[in-house]
Structure 1
Amino acid sequence: MANVSPIERALDIIELLADHPEGLAVSDLARRLKLPKSIAHRLLAILADRDFAIQDGVTQHYRLSIRTAALGLRFFGNIGLNEVCQPILSRLAQRTGEFVRVCAEENGELVWVAMAQANSEGLRYDPPMDAGPALHATANGRAWLSTLKEADALAQVRSKGFILPRNHASSSVTNEQQLLEELKQIRERGYAISADESVVGITAFAAPIPDREEGPARGCVSVAGPSVRMSPSRGREIMPDLLAAAKELGEIWPIPRLKKFASISTS
């Protein structure tokens, strides 16, 4: 940790606290991030002074402030993301009867940005909107990778390796050759499938959101639900609606293209 800047450590604290809305004690936070307790306390004090964190008067635990979440909502509002995505997602959820999500690409990562749940009875899939999808081990991740050149797709996965995120069940792709074969199939059919990978008993179908300038996808839209009713035949039934939603999102997507991937697509 000697070469890690205070800014990076502060960002690590914010990311950790985002997963613990009940807050964490200074000692617990320092242990999890492998920080000296004095440094953790100093950085938390700075975050609290700027109203990014709050210390509970009873437990003395630190948690993120509402202001931190509000900044993200303000950004989404300013770029018109919710206004663009939500009507399309709600319509797709009602037509398919399943859970629908959209993730956006940012600096080589996918981030969940919007969701819609069908008002249906029976088994429901309600995942948290926390960490974005793992690139090699999810339908959304592989759908996005399929829109990159092979070398760029491999570079993205190599940066983290074929390592499963915390609480991730399994992956059908465990090496580069399997990944390249899977991406080729996705390009041919236009969508990706993930069955019992992120969560046992859940199947997802994902389609890339096309870029108007024919670069890598802007993100992905997916339909997911219990595997007992998300069979391959069911996937074929919902695919026209999923692909239509992806195309519609691509036509009106409000987030500007990052320069990094604009350059990759032309290299």
Structure 2
Amino acid sequence: MKEKANHPVRTSEKTLALIETLDTADGFRLTELDERLEMSKSGIHNHLSTLREHGYVEKNGDEYSLSLKFLSLGGHVRSRSPLYRHGRSKIDQLASDTGMLANLATEEGGRAVYLYQSRGSYAVSLDTHVGYRLRLHNIGIGKAILAHLSRERVEAIIDEWGLPKATENTITEREELFAELQQIRERGYATDNEERTEGLTCIGAPVQLDGEILGAISISAPTKRLGNAGFDDDITAEVESTAHELALDIKYAEE
């Protein structure tokens, strides 16, 4: 989980707060940043000037925004992940075979981080994207990961991120979640039946290597197309087999 800095550097914290604020929109005027941040206008301007000098912030007219340099950094980090390197083609194939939105994610800091997505012929448009972070308890890909973490780790994740309610179907009780995670381990796949988004259903399966959970894959589709069909055996089997094939690819390619 998140570790507290022994001696936090206030200047760094201010820079990070500025970056995270800039990440919430396409552009901000200085006055808008002044309203959102606990910093003086001159301090904000100094931080922006430094970030611009090093290529991390762009200024268009009177608006500031993050630059594509962050894409370069994030892309480099992602490319070091065997899960991503070997998973892209698998996710593309899964999306093509099912026609749905296929996802690849790992866990970091107690949340799911999307590494890759691929759209099938009738994939839905969602708010998720590469790099997006979500709580684990109410998404199929997240529950597939949680089911293969130790109880102590899951407890710690719940302590930090809670079990907030997103829809009427969201699991918000700790023991109910642990009971579901047991079922996921027994059947081999996880489901999200409108637990984060009304009208959306997901099927997720873990990617495990020698007992270690590396991440998970999932497909997402409107409930009327996927959920009401009772989680078709052919579809769940394809998700599970794709996850298993990905684990084998990583195992033998990385040896």
TM-score calculated relative to the size of structure 2? 0.84
| Equivalent pair of 2:171/2:195 in contact (CA under 8 Å) | no
Mean Cα deviation higher: 46-55 or 100-109: 100-109
Match of 1:265 in 2: none
| Equivalent pair of 2:103/2:116 in contact (CA under 8 Å) | yes
Q: 1:140 to 1:81 in 2, by over 3 A?
A: closer
Match of 2:88 in 1: 86
Q: 1:237 to 1:69 in 2, by over 3 A?
A: same
Match of 1:259 in 2: none
Match of 1:183 in 2: 181
Q: 1:171 to 1:9 in 2, by over 3 A?
A: farther
| Equivalent pair of 2:110/2:136 in contact (CA under 8 Å) | no
SS at match of 1:218: strand
Moved over 6 A (4+): none
Are 1:24 and 2:22 an aligned pair?
Answer: no
Q: Distance in 1 between matches of 2:168 and 2:36?
A: 25
Match of 1:9 in 2: 14
In structure 1, give the amino acid aligned to 2:99.
G
After superposition, what is the alpha-carbon deviation per residue over 1:67-94, rounded to whole angstroms, capped at 9, x for unaligned?
A: 1112212333355665422210111112
Q: 1:43 to 1:170 in 2, by over 3 A?
A: farther
Q: Distance in 2 between matches of 1:81 and 1:29?
A: 37
| Equivalent pair of 1:135/1:157 in contact (CA under 8 Å) | no
Shift in Å, 1:157: 1.5
Match of 1:135 in 2: 136
Match of 2:190 in 1: 192
Q: 1:9 to 1:237 in 2, by over 3 A?
A: farther
The share of aligned pairs that are identical, in percent, is 26
Q: Distance in 2 between matches of 1:42 and 1:138?
A: 41
Q: Distance in 2 between matches of 1:33 and 1:190?
A: 46
Q: Distance in 2 between matches of 1:91 and 1:9?
A: 43
Are 1:228 and 2:224 an aligned pair?
Answer: yes
Match of 1:53 in 2: 57
Q: 1:191 to 1:34 in 2, by over 3 A?
A: farther
Match of 2:236 in 1: 239
SS at match of 1:155: helix
| Equivalent pair of 1:170/1:198 in contact (CA under 8 Å) | no
After superposition, what is the alpha-carbon deviation per residue over 1:118-148, rounded to whole angstroms, capped at 9, x for unaligned?
A: 124xxx3122315322112211222111111
| Equivalent pair of 1:205/1:235 in contact (CA under 8 Å) | no
After superposition, what is the alpha-carbon deviation per residue over 1:143-175, rounded to whole angstroms, capped at 9, x for unaligned?
A: 1111111121011111122235xxx55652112
SS at match of 2:134: coil
In structure 2, give the amino acid aligned to 1:190.
G
TM-score calculated relative to the size of structure 1? 0.81
Which of 33, 43, 46 is the equivalent residue of 1:42? 46
Q: 1:64 to 1:201 in 2, by over 3 A?
A: same
Q: 1:157 to 1:37 in 2, by over 3 A?
A: farther
CA RMSD for the aligned pairs?
Answer: 2.3
Structure with the larger strand share: 2
Match of 1:263 in 2: none
Q: 1:107 to 1:134 in 2, by over 3 A?
A: closer
5+ residue gaps, structure 2:
1-7
